[in-house]
Amino acid sequence: MTETLSNSSANGRATAPHKVSPRGGRAGAAAVPASPSGARDLAGMRSVLDDLPMRVMLCDLDLTIRYVNKASVAGLTELAAYLPIDPAAILGQNIDIFHKDPSHQRRVLSSADNLPVHSLIQVGPETLDLNVQAVFDEDGAMCGAMAS
Ligand code: HEM
């Protein structure tokens, strides 16, 4: 999630129909690239994600948070007063705890056909520019979602 210049609450939402790309992935979806040199490349990718200036969070299909980069932890730490848990303990939490009506997010995230989603969300005094897209495994099956 990125912080926007606006402080007003808004509900802008834009969804786009998914398109299947030639590799079997979907246009606009996060994909795990093929890695010819294996674990070392993956570690490199991980470190790129860790240090990316934009906020990145990943959850699995149960909506358990599996990855949070440093920018996310820093951003959430600034908003700690408005969150139900300490941001340092966010890994392993279910995203439901952050949502007013979790059934809405569960519905949206139940199918890649509903993604990507773009929305301006309000957390305390901040308006966050939320983008959520599906994450796919090597077989093209949805295995989670990425919020940035
Ligand atoms: C991987 C992690 C997360 C995912 C996949 C996710 C997903 C979503 C989705 C799909 C929406 C609905 C957007 C719409 O339909 O317009 C949403 C809304 C929202 N999210 Fe998250 N979210 C995540 C983490 C968080 C966290 C950590 C927070 C707390 C800072 C948060 C706070 C909110 C709020 C405040 C809204 C709008 C109001 C509400 O529904 O409660 N989300 N999120």
Q: Which superfamily does CATH assign the domain made up of 2-147 to?
A: PAS domain (3.30.450.20)
More confident residue, 41 or 80: 80
The residues lining ligand 1, judged by C-beta closer than 6 Å to any ligand atom, are: 13, 57-59, 65, 76, 83, 95, 98-100, 104-105, 108-109, 117, 119, 121, 123, 130, 132, 145, 147
Q: Which atom of ligand 1 is found nearest the CA of 79?
A: 30
Percent of the chain topping pLDDT 70: 76
**Model pLDDT, residue 22:** 39
* Whole-angstrom distance, CA of residue 16 vs CA of residue 136: 17
**Model pLDDT, residue 19:** 39
Output the CA–CA distances (angstroms, integers) from residue 68 to 9, 13, 46, 64, 101, in the order listed.
Answer: 25, 23, 11, 11, 22
Reply yes or no on whether the pLDDT at 123 is more than 50. yes
Output the CA–CA distances (angstroms, integers) from residue 147 to 23, 67, 133, in the order listed.
Answer: 23, 10, 7
Average pLDDT of the chain to the nearest whole number: 84
Reply yes or no on whether the pLDDT at 1 is more than 90. no
